[in-house]
Amino acid sequence: MDMTKRPNFLLIITDQQRADHLGCAGHPVLRTPNIDQIAAKGTRFDRFYVATPVCMPNRASLMTGRMPSAHGGRHNGIPLSRDAVTFVDLLRAANYATALIGKSHLQTQSGRPPISKFEVKEGYLPPPEGFNEARRSIYRDGSYDQELPERWNEHDAKIDTPFYGFDHVELLKGHGDQLSGTYLQWFRERHPDPYSLMGPKNQLSGNTYTVPQAWRTAVPEELSSSAFIADRTAAYLRDFKGDQPFFVMASFPDPHHPFTPPGKYWNMYRPEDMPRPPVFDQSDWVPPPHVQAWIASHRRGEKPTDLTTAHGVDLKEALEARALTCGSVSCIDNAVGKIMEALDASGEAENTVVIFTSDHGEYLGDHGLLLKGLAHYDEIIRVPFIWADPNSVGGETSGALASTIDIPATVLDRAGLAPFNGFQGRSLMPVVARRAAVHRAELVIEDENQRTLPGLGRTPRERTLVTDRYRLSVFQDQDWGELYDLQEDPNELRNLWYAPECADVRSDLTSRLLFRLIEIVDRSPMPLHQS
């Protein structure tokens, strides 16, 4: 096959963006003309779900086409093994030029000690060094300090490549305006002291918001994370001279909290114009135990001690978070426009598949919550997904159930490359080509956490089944669960777990979940012999 005729791929991914936060997805206020234009040229999937609603493990699922239980990165804090084969590895092996510009988060980036630790019962001799994990080679198969803060304290730091298949990496790590990586080097070329502008202590005056983690950043638009990604991605596309196809991932760290849209994007949207979360008009809603615990803590006036996981909010805070998030998304949209201009100028647009998605969603006040956690409501498990292919009809919207693990399967299929053994994703090309309307009858979402969560206990686990009509969620060691009829109750405010009329539905969905859990058990490696 002539390699020069293989398509290029431009994958644009955001962080913590709900499926409904796009103009083309029907948001009543948010304006995203550039992303909408991508959708106008392709297929927008309206029921696209994550493998897990957490940054690190879902990004690892995107890279490997495998569920967290298969690739091993079950929750934040567990890096993707350097021994793992990624779909980018396969593209690179097929002579693709591969580039990552922006957020990676395939490895730990905070440097903080873990919450979960291996414990040995009193009186027992612990395993010797090298035998304290199920595999001897764990964390010995390569460098796992690539994204840690101390590495990026040096002005000339860089990623060792190939990095999970990427030959070219310009890293941006962190969130809001507290960022580092290659971004800092780019920033210092334009301003001598980045830290004099970053963070809440340097914020501009005029911040009247009460929602936690909101400050009016002093970092101007032209030095923001979105500006960096637009500038560097555009430069890569502009300077690309290879006679090979390319795969470029432009990875934005926004609109993930903290809520710090720069410049004009801070007050581009008003809280009072935001759609009101339905839960605040539902007086008879009975939350499941863990959600009730988060909400009760907020009502007692307790400040959240963990600023990375879900906590309760009031209506004012919810509307403020929504307005600021819309500002961040519009800032991203402006950057996407610049990237698309560069793609057009490169002369490669007619041979480039453009993909847009996010790694998970955000509660933004729905169900009385902010951020994300082990409560698999639609707002955190469903994300945008757009596939704009020059060879396909544009302006399509599909209701086919699909998953993050299907993205690499679709890219490989479009490139004419076979996946590796153990790959769990399914190509969406039949849906894109309008040869099929149904992709999956149901899909599974996994979720685990290091923390002790109220109502769930220590290191909780959740498994969810989503079908065309229902969402069923079960938790380890809990005698309750969640069941919602997504057609009759799209806001998921009536849990039917104990409803007598839904007993048969619950039983059927539980069986289907069991079958899917069996299906996603790892099939790698292949046997060496019959016996």
Nearest to 520 by CA among 86, 74, 70, 72: 70
Q: Bridge partners of 386? A: 44, 356
Could you tell me the CATH number of the domain that includes residue 211? 3.40.720.10
DSSP secondary structure of 335-366: HHHHHHHHHHHHT-GGGEEEEEEES----TTG
Q: How many CA atoms lie within 13 A of 294 on its CB side?
A: 27
In a domain, 203, yes or no: yes
The pLDDT tens digits for 39-90 are 999 999 999 999 999 999 999 999 999 999 999 999 999 999 999 999 999 9
Model confidence at 2, in pLDDT bands (50, 70, 90)?
very low
In a domain, 469, yes or no: no
Q: Where are the alpha helices (DSSP H) in 363-442?
A: 378-381, 406-415, 429-432
C-beta separation of 404 from 87 below 8 A? no
Q: Look-up: residue for tokens 């539905």?
A: 505
Mean pLDDT of 391-401: 94
Nearest to 407 by CA among 371, 379, 439: 439
- Output Rg (C-alpha) for the chain, integer angstroms: 23
Burial of 228 (C-beta count, 10 Å sphere; 0-12/13-18/19+): buried
pLDDT at 378 over 90: yes
Lowest mean pLDDT among 114-123, 269-278, 381-390, 458-467: 114-123
User: What's the confidence (pLDDT) of residue 530?
Assistant: 94
Report how many domains make up the chain: 1
CA distance 348 to 453: 49
CA distance readout (Å), 269 to 141, 252, 255, 325: 47, 20, 14, 9
CA distance 529 to 246: 38
Q: Bridge partners of 472? A: 465, 483
The pLDDT tens digits for 148-194 are 988 887 667 889 999 999 999 999 999 999 999 999 999 999 999 99
- The enclosing H or E element of 512 equals helix 503-519
In a domain, 411, yes or no: yes
CA distance readout (Å), 164 to 64, 91, 143, 173, 465: 10, 11, 11, 16, 30
SS3 72: coil
Burial of 508 (C-beta count, 10 Å sphere; 0-12/13-18/19+): middle
The pLDDT tens digits for 485-507 are 999 999 999 999 999 999 999 99
In a domain, 184, yes or no: yes
In a domain, 166, yes or no: yes
Average pLDDT score over the chain: 95
User: What's the confidence (pLDDT) of residue 1?
Assistant: 36
Nearest to 439 by CA among 385, 368, 514, 481: 385
Q: Where are the alpha helices (DSSP H) in 83-134?
A: 87-93
In a domain, 137, yes or no: no
CA distance readout (Å), 526 to 324, 426, 517, 521: 49, 20, 20, 13
In a domain, 134, yes or no: no
Nearest to 293 by CA among 463, 472, 478, 446: 478
Q: Tell me which of 303 and 279 has the higher pLDDT.
A: 279
pLDDT at 5 over 80: no
Domain holding 399, by residue range, is: 3-113+144-286+314-441
CA distance 370 to 298: 11
Burial of 85 (C-beta count, 10 Å sphere; 0-12/13-18/19+): buried
pTM above the 0.95 mark? yes
In a domain, 517, yes or no: no
pLDDT at 418 over 60: yes
C-beta separation of 55 from 15 below 8 A? yes
Model confidence at 3, in pLDDT bands (50, 70, 90)?
very low
CA distance readout (Å), 216 to 176, 208, 324, 363: 10, 9, 10, 22
DSSP secondary structure of 267-288: TSS-GGGSPPPGGGG-TT----
User: What's the confidence (pLDDT) of residue 27?
Assistant: 98
Q: How many residues does the chain have?
A: 531
